Amino acid sequence: MMRLELVKRPQRSALFQVLSPFIAFALTMIAGAIMFALLGVNPFTAFTVYFVQPVSEVWQLHELAIKAAPLILIAVGLSVCYKANIWNIGAEGQFILGGIFGSIIPVLFPDFEGPLVLPLMLLLGMVGGALYASIPALLKTRFSTNEILTSLMLVYVAQLFLDWLVRGPWRDPQGHGFPQTIQFGDSAVLPELMPDAGRANWGFVFALVAAVAIWLMMSRMLKGFEVRVLGSSPRAGRFAGFGFNKMVFFTFLLSGALAGLAGISEVSGAIGQLQPVISPGYGFTAIIVAFLGRLNPLGIVAAGLVLALTYLGGEAVQTALGISDKVARVFQGMLLFFVLGCDTLIHYRIRLIGFAAPKLEAAPKLEGAR
């Protein structure tokens, strides 16, 4: 019988702050190898198929960017929430609402064309995501309702709402009964960056811009300071004169808007129409991305690319080795677990203690000292 004991470090460890994501990644690889072995696949073959093949050609890198863009956009917004110790876990719903709001123009006004269409769609997408995110914010500030549960419940509602739209009022009349809207017109489609090389679109640029902007805000601006203070010690934040309720709205609206932007970018760029399902769980995976990037927007860019690779790898092992693509979700979950666990090393040293209690060294005897 062993037990773990944590010994608090006097200062956080700079070494482990750098090392911890790599240790976590290595541990995930080991666990993944065991998993593949249990599934009866040679781990080396599996890893090659999973991690190397999907990024061995240029067009594949474009696919990676397509997958990474929404993850980074959403995760960057969530990182601000989580830094403020505010728990928006309904980004999936805000993503969907962004997709729906942004689609209003191409679906309901397909004749409206021109250079204004796309900016308006993106703006509407952000508004949609932000509005949807304002619901849990309002409930939290007005009634102190737990935002974790409300934002999550709204995901299910958003999914059902989208399902109704594309099967009902917004269904393409010429679509042979398929549950989908009309294909967006040319001016409503997010252009590709380098059409000759691959499919990656402007969504990836939005993600990078958002990451840099939020990084600047968090590290250099008073607003970022406000977020960090309120998140790490709310009472000190109140003493500083920072309003907690305002912060709840700020973080929810910001992360909602970015999730909404991700949503409309995905619909307008990668899909080109609304379908009953427009996200393979980006809103939830982005939570992992945010933590894997340790809530730092620049780290999130790297983490977003890694997680996008797990999606592509999942598809690859399914086609090449006949393993369920759910393996991607397992990888993501394990990675997050190991990241959280390894972060403990930043603040604590870990001692392994055997079952017997540690012995006291006998101190030298001080006879007759008194």
Partner 1 sequence: MDITVNILLTIATAATPLLIAAIGELVVERSGVLNLGVEGMMIMGAVGGFGAGYLTGSPWIGLLAAIIVGALFSLLFAVMTLSLATNQVATGLSLTLLGLGLSGMIGTSFVGQPGVRLPNLDIPGLSSIPVVGRLIFGQDPLFYLSIALTAAVMWFLFKTRTGLTLRSIGDSHSSAHALGIKVIRYRYLAVIFGGACAGLAGGHLSLVYTPQWVENMSAGRGWIALALVVFASWRPWRVLAGAYIFGAVWIGQLHAQAFGIPVPSQFLSSLPYLATIAVLVLISRNKRLTMMNTPASLGQPFVPDR
Partner 2 sequence: MSANHDRANLLEVRGLTKIFGTLTACNHIDLNIAKGEIHALLGENGAGKSTLVKMLFGSLEPNSGEIFWDGQAVRITSPGIAKKLGIGMVFQHFSLFEALTAAENIALSLNDGSPISTIAAKARALSYSYGLPLDPESLVGDLSVGERQRIEIIRCLLQTPQLIILDEPTSVLTPQEADKLFETLERLRSEGKSILYISHRLEEVKRICDRATVLRHGKVVGHCNPRQETAASLARMMVGNEVKAVVRAPAEGIDTAPALLEIRGLTRKPATPFAIPLKNINLTVRAGEVIGIAGVAGNGQGEFFESVSGEVLQQDTGSVRIRGKDAGALSITGRRLMGAAFVPEERLGHGAAPRMKLSENLLLSRHATDGKSFVGSGGMVKNGSVYSASQRIIAAMDVRKSAPDPEAAALSGGNLQKFIVGRELDRKPSVLVVNQPTWGVDAGAAAHIRQALIELARSGSAVLVISQDLDELFELSDAIAVMHNGELSAPLRIAEATFEKIGLLMGGAEPGHAEHTMETA
| Site residues for partner 1 per CB under 8 A | 3-8, 82, 87, 89, 139, 143-146, 148-150, 152-154, 156-157, 160-161, 163-164, 167-168, 284-285, 287-288, 291, 324, 326-330, 332-334, 336-337, 340-341, 343-344, 348, 350
Least distance (Å) between residue 231 CB and partner 2: 10
In the complex with partner 2, the residue whose CB is nearer, 235 or 326, is 235
Name, in order, each residue with C-beta under 8 angstroms of 330's C-beta and a sequence gap of 6 or more.
Answer: 35
In the complex with partner 1, the residue whose CB is nearer, 74 or 154, is 154
| Residue 294 interaction partner, one of partner 1, partner 2, none, beta carbon < 5-8 Å per kind | none
Q: How far lies 332's CA from each of 46, 77, 99, 311, 343, in Å?
A: 16, 19, 25, 9, 17
In the complex with partner 1, the residue whose CB is nearer, 273 or 310, is 310
The site for partner 2 (CB under 8 A) is made up of 7-11, 220-223, 225, 228-229, 232-233, 235-241, 357-358, 360-367, 369-370
| Residue 130 interaction partner, one of partner 2, partner 1, none, beta carbon < 5-8 Å per kind | none
Contact assessment for residue 54 and residue 313, using Cβ atoms and an 8 Å cutoff = yes
| Residue 168 interaction partner, one of partner 2, partner 1, none, beta carbon < 5-8 Å per kind | partner 1
| Residue 229 interaction partner, one of partner 2, partner 1, none, beta carbon < 5-8 Å per kind | partner 2
How many C-beta neighbours within 10 Å does residue 301 have? Answer: 22
Number of residues that this document lists for the chain: 370
Contact assessment for residue 55 and residue 239, using Cβ atoms and an 8 Å cutoff = no
Least distance (Å) between residue 222 CB and partner 2: 5
Least distance (Å) between residue 361 CB and partner 2: 4
Contact assessment for residue 106 and residue 121, using Cβ atoms and an 8 Å cutoff = yes
Nearest to 133 by CA among 112, 161, 152, 105: 152
In the complex with partner 1, the residue whose CB is nearer, 167 or 199, is 167
CA–CA separation, 70 and 124 (whole Å)? 17
| Residue 153 interaction partner, one of partner 1, partner 2, none, beta carbon < 5-8 Å per kind | partner 1
Give me the phi and psi of 7, to 5 degrees please.
-115, 120
152: amino acid identity, one letter: L
* Rg of the chain on CA atoms, in Å: 24
